[in-house]
Structure 1
């Protein structure tokens, strides 16, 4: 039985294949101009398309149909829509994923449609955009990058696409031409009849379609390989060169860019309760709190901060010693030549420094040792990535000699990494000062060191390490001063960290009762585990977490984007040796560094009964990000929810098998 949906005023129908890199931009843009629902036909996509549309489907904004048809797939898809879905919308626009339909002057397409109450369809002319000089696919929005187009009198611009009135439309003959009741015909924006697929004259005063026919030269060549959706033959290079016109700079569409970037950021933060950092860089900021000085009872904080989206940093929220400060002076946008030199490709790096002058309250003036400082950059109503430091710290850090013996980072990195992970735990999983936390693979105590400034005596920290030598410093320096911090060595075999261990990793049972912890942290261990060990650990994590508790862990996720970046040589991790389910750095010793397919890890998580509630892609493969490794946040829901999630996973597997069978039947 078909789901009953509220009738939309305006919907879009499109067929797509491997449009993942631009799909979210296309969806969010058309939502801005008044489109209420999208009917998408997936024609054998092998990229991240299905992952991208999933939250839109769950929000009932996208109706997705698997469409493995090989010949004439576009017209067949359109006719399938007309037979099954047309009555769910008053108006439907049939366009492609490289076409952006919008009103030339007004802001909402529905305002224009009101001017055509009795016509069967409106034909909207193209404006063909070229490569704008880009050889390779540029970063960012296509509507921001590709600004040069053909002149209006270019012959191909006479083509039009239709916004049809559902009650008058019978059948699709071509992507440009439909059959209407009573021998009706489409009209132009000037109410002129359009009897063919090209209009007698070009007009885009009210409505237009920006057709990004070529995109970059690199993408043009990929388009040739992919072939058309209308018929099963390849595009020719000559055709693409013919359309690569860059004669007029046209910025009309760019008035939507601020709202579009904001929509992309909001979407990334809110969808599914899962936050990701993909094309839109939605974690918003990157920066550092560099210097803290107390002078005349004024705490001066200096550092640098850069927004990763169009919205600038407008200020900071400040917590010192657990109290929020609201009355302080802040100066932003100070010239920063050193930051620009260190990060020449980072937009905004030339004026990135900030200075905060904060009058301390009486309590903090009298006792200012070990003052934990937390800064949250604000971009309007959005939070950037937290910056953390401690003023006048009393706790030691490991010596460089000790760290070099353990073969880890420098002592400077030790402290910065400690506060970085403290920021993740506070901001990303909501760790409270009284919570209990398990740190798996705690190493020399980086995560623990940061937590000593945050957790109260009522809290509990447990660290497990598999290298006896690595854990010595933490046991000797932290536990005697913080009795609620406990570190233990486990003699578990690992080819790198404990090659003489006696117990296989997959047989290790966490030495804690069920539901012992509010949080679990794994900062640098999952990238050194086999698939069997990861699945075992996920089961153990689920067991020791309290209901509602969360797990934060770092990993390297292989997906369409990261694979391309690795292939382009942009990754800091040369993960080129294939293993089951992923790739590794060293074929003879895979545990040095291991990555797995993102979809596979997600399946393992669901299999364990945990739920993904946060996902942040890292800079390891060449992206801009606040984190180097990818981060996943998992939550233990109620037992009923966990079982329900398991049933959903099984159902998904059956659906995939059914889709495969359907595809074979279509062939």
Structure 2
């Protein structure tokens, strides 16, 4: 009899974010993620010592990434996939899918400044994902947060940042990240979306097809949301700029910092409430903010 697959794995590429990982791992383990694949993008020091307790528990698999040309060459040799060696994040995601996707029903591919929250009465992520087994994947729309006025790094992301962008702010929240059904995924076509087998596609939380691949026509927070702490404190943002973009994009600077904070005119307690449920070990979710 074949071994049952774990419901939800999660892959992330991480660089020099040692202090952020424990909260991100602990919260998402509570939510129901069964295993994490941490792709270490040349962190200094490496993440292995920090992650060792999680590795010993069987919760984390850690891989220190090679240089871009080596990763792209490895993918080409093993999968015939042609990949831009500058796109380290996409290379890492496809390595996750190729090496570990067969172990899971679903895998999500997100950053560690992104926290999934359930917004209806579903008790946990595995229960929620049962309703999407017939689709290529389910899309989680961003809900983006500003700095809440903090200059220094805060000990908890979830409980500290409560200033967020209005739902309709410049289309920021139509962007998605994907929880991908491994039965129907071919590859990660981009860091936000996958390519699926013929006849399969991703849907929003309410079951509407995602036709644009990376965006929905409107944010759908009916069952889940992806809280995106895109700047956090001034200190965190400076470190983010220093780390650079693992997709070799133009990067984010002072204008972006100002834009996000100027637009963060709404108060959102969703991260704080999620942190309280996690710490209190209760599965009672609420959609009050949506």
Tell me the TM-score normalized by structure 1.
0.37
**Which structure has more strand as a fraction of its residues?**
1
Are 1:110 and 2:126 counterparts?
A: yes
> 1:138-192: per-residue Cα shift (whole Å, max 9, x none)?
3x21111111100011211110000010010001111112110015221111211
Q: How do 1:255-654 and structure 2 match up within 5 A?
A: 255-258=273-276, 260-261=278-279
Is this contact kept in 2: 1:129–1:211, CA < 8 A? yes
Q: How do 1:651-666 and structure 2 match up within 5 A?
A: none
Aligned counterpart in structure 1 of residue 264 of structure 2, from 234, 243, 246: 246
Aligned counterpart in structure 2 of residue 80 of structure 1, from 90, 95, 112: 95
Find the counterpart in structure 2 of residue 57 from structure 1: 55
- TM-superposed CA distance for 1:262, in Å, is 6.7
User: CA-atom RMSD, angstroms?
Assistant: 2.0
> 1:390-443: per-residue Cα shift (whole Å, max 9, x none)?
xxxxxxxxxxxxxxxxxxxxxxxxxxxxxxxxxxxxxxxxxxxxxxxxxxxxxx
Structure-2 separation of matches of 1:137 and 1:213: 13
- Give the number of the structure whose alpha-carbon radius of gyration is greater: 1
C-alpha change, 1:6 and 1:44, in structure 2 (3 Å) is farther
Aligned counterpart in structure 2 of residue 221 of structure 1, from 238, 242, 246: 238
- TM-superposed CA distance for 1:94, in Å, is 0.9
Aligned counterpart in structure 2 of residue 212 of structure 1, from 223, 229, 232: 229
Tell me the TM-score normalized by structure 2.
0.84
Is this contact kept in 2: 1:225–1:234, CA < 8 A? no
C-alpha change, 1:117 and 1:242, in structure 2 (3 Å) is same
Is this contact kept in 1: 2:40–2:46, CA < 8 A? no
C-alpha change, 1:259 and 1:124, in structure 2 (3 Å) is closer
Structure-2 separation of matches of 1:190 and 1:98: 24
Find the counterpart in structure 2 of residue 384 from structure 1: none
- The DSSP-based 3-state class of the residue aligned with 1:28 is helix
Aligned counterpart in structure 2 of residue 143 of structure 1, from 153, 158, 162: 158
Structure-2 separation of matches of 1:128 and 1:240: 12
Structure-2 separation of matches of 1:124 and 1:91: 13
Find the counterpart in structure 2 of residue 587 from structure 1: none
Is this contact kept in 2: 1:133–1:216, CA < 8 A? yes
- The DSSP-based 3-state class of the residue aligned with 1:204 is coil
Structure-2 separation of matches of 1:191 and 1:7: 24
Find the counterpart in structure 2 of residue 394 from structure 1: none
Find the counterpart in structure 2 of residue 446 from structure 1: none
Structure-1 separation of matches of 2:119 and 2:67: 35
Is this contact kept in 2: 1:130–1:146, CA < 8 A? yes
Structure-1 separation of matches of 2:3 and 2:92: 20
Aligned residues: 259
- TM-superposed CA distance for 1:259, in Å, is 5.3
- TM-superposed CA distance for 1:136, in Å, is 1.7
